[in-house]
């Protein structure tokens, strides 16, 4: 497992490429913070990761809002102690 002991924050991780990245990092041993605008969907991805033996939490955050970003990282550090990897997936509602 290449990422054992690492903590990864993945935004836009409730679906699509962000979800795939979160699942891959978890499979490689990282603790994953699944962040998305949709908390229920983020929690579903986190639960699926945990059901496969990984460690994950879901957090709702809008990366365009500074307070959300600060809360995202504060919660990550409170839960896992650090942030080693950040994948900031852009979500375009118009696409």
Torsion of CA 31, 44, 50, 26, to 10 degrees: -40
pTM: 0.92
What does the pLDDT look like over 14-71, one tens digit per residue? Answer: 999 999 999 999 999 999 999 999 999 999 999 999 999 999 999 999 999 999 999 9
Ordered by start, the domain boundaries in the chain are 7-88
Cα torsion through 40, 41, 42, 43, rounded to 10: 50
- Structurally, at CATH architecture level, domain 7-88 sits in 3-Layer(aba) Sandwich (3.40)
């Amino acid at each position: 497992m290449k990422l054992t002991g690492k903590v990864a924050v993945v935004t836009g991780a409730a679906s699509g490429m962000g979800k795939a990245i979160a699942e891959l990092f978890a499979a490689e041993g990282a603790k994953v913070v699944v962040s998305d605008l949709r908390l229920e969907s983020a929690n579903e991805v986190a639960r699926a990761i945990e059901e496969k033996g990984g460690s994950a939490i879901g957090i709702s955050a809008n990366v365009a809002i500074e307070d959300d970003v600060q809360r995202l990282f504060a919660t990550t550090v409170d839960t896992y102690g650090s942030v080693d990897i950040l994948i900031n997936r852009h979500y375009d509602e118009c696409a």
